[in-house]
Each structure stands twice: as structure tokens, then as C-alpha cells.
Amino acid sequence: MEGLAPVIGVTATLKEDTERVAERPLGRFVRADADYVEGVVEAGGVPVVLAPVAGPGAAETLVSGLDGLLLSGGSDLEPSHYGEEALPELGVTLPERDEFEIALARGALRRGIPIFGICRGMQLLNVVLGGTLYQDIPSQLGRGVLGHRQRTPKWQPAHEVEVLPGSLLGGIVGRGVVKVNSYHHQAVKELAPGLVVGARSPDGVIEAIESREPGERWVLGIQWHAEAMRAAGPEHRALFEAHVSAARRYAGRRAAA
């Protein structure tokens, strides 16, 4: 087992194809943005795309074969998972994806598998561990907040985040301020027990969360899409490298056991 690249599960979403052939839609597609997959490959991992159509019952089988889990971005999380009713501003939700990824995350947490959450993935991590979300930043936080949904290309930064000293994130990116992109309208509200804040934007919105004890449980969530900014700076590539390194250590412990 020693020397083998760690296997990283990358969650996918479901998309409806609007193109029609012979007056019938082509149907649904499982989609994982190539940037996530390529980020894992560049960092030395072997990506495996996890289709949400497998259902929560398959999560236990799937997660048992992983060395790391990458929770990708995408649709809003159904607010019933954190005890709230849906607000009018809530976006599209995919219940089957929610259930599948919650089961995956719980299975990975039980096993101590390193988890890296990006955008929605960070929000899902917080909910799975007992936290809550702002369903819509503009309507719930009001004036004074940044525009967290940029209209410029994903590889361009929208604002800065302040990385907290002594954080796991700070040790990875190696700096106190990072320029990031921003494509979200939801955010962490109540932080889950066992997690700490790793970074905030200038308006106070939580931009990164991580395990309180990273030596015991490697869990990191970021609100920005680092997978799309890998060419913009080494700090974004370093996030994938740190996750794959943690997964390699996990694989080594599993092999030794």
C-alpha cells in the first residue's frame, strides 16, 4: 500500500439537460466540474466521482474505500436539515444530493477520513456537525455586506479574506490575507461544536471553518472556489495538496492497521 496515491471521493451534482431530441429532453446528468478533479490529480491524488443517485444507503460502501472526501459546491442545502423553514430567497435544492452527501460526510467523520469542503461543501460540513446557515446573505444580513456573488470569471478574485493566526488554514496558505473569488448567497450562521473559524471576509461573514483539533480530525471548509483559482496563486493549489497529504497519511494508518 505504501507509495500508492490516495483515493479522493469528489461529490457530484445533478443537472437537467434542456436540449431536446425528437421532442423529448435528453434527461439528467451527473456532473462534477473538471476543476475539482484536476485539482486532486495535480496534488497527487486519485479522484473518484461520487454520483448522488447512488442514494444514502450506498454511502457507507463508497466511503469505506476512500482515503479522503472532497465535498464540492452547488445547490442550496434544504433548511430542514438544520431545523428551519425555507425562506422565499432560498435557491434550488436537491434532496437526494443532500441525503447522499450528509451520509457520506457522517461516514467519513466516523472513520477519521480527511474532509475538504468547498462552498456548499463547507456549509454541509457545518450542518452535519450541528451548525446552521444563513439561507440568504443579502436578505438576512442586510446592508453593509459584500457582494458575495460575483459576475466576473471564477479565476478572478472578488474580495479578500483574513486568515486567523494559528489556524490550520493559515498553516496551509502561509499568509494572513488571501484574495478569493465568491459565488455564494448562503453562509455559516451558528458554528457547529467542534469547529473553529479559519477566516472571515471584511464584512464578518465566515469564509473558512476547520476542526478544533486538526491533529485528531482533519476537516477544512472554505467558502470560495479554490479549484477555479489554482492558476491565480500557490495558496489555492496548496489547499488541495494539504488535503491529499492528509489523505495519504490516513491511507498509511489504515494500511498499517
- For the segment 87-104, what is each residue's pLDDT rounded down to a tens digit? 999 998 999 999 999 999
Catalytic residue among 78, 101, 119, 185: 119
| Average pLDDT score over the chain | 92
Answer yes or no: is pLDDT of 123 > 90. yes
Does 185 participate in catalysis according to the annotation?
no
* DSSP code per residue over 120-180: HHHHHHHHHTT--EES-HHHHH-TT----B--S-TTS--EEEEEPTT-HHHHHH-SSEEEE
Does 235 participate in catalysis according to the annotation?
no
Cα angle 140, 193, 64 (rounded to 5 degrees) comes to: 110
Pairing of strands 7-11, 46-50: parallel
Does 119 participate in catalysis according to the annotation?
yes
Residue 157's pLDDT is what? 85
Residue 1's pLDDT is what? 41
- The percent of residues above 70 in pLDDT, for the chain, comes to 94
pLDDT band at residue 17 using 50, 70 and 90 as cut-offs = low
Answer yes or no: is pLDDT of 21 > 80. no
pLDDT band at residue 230 using 50, 70 and 90 as cut-offs = very high
Catalytic residue among 227, 235, 236, 243: 227
Q: What's the CA gap between 172 and 113, in Å, rounded?
A: 18
Catalytic residue among 148, 184, 185, 225: 225
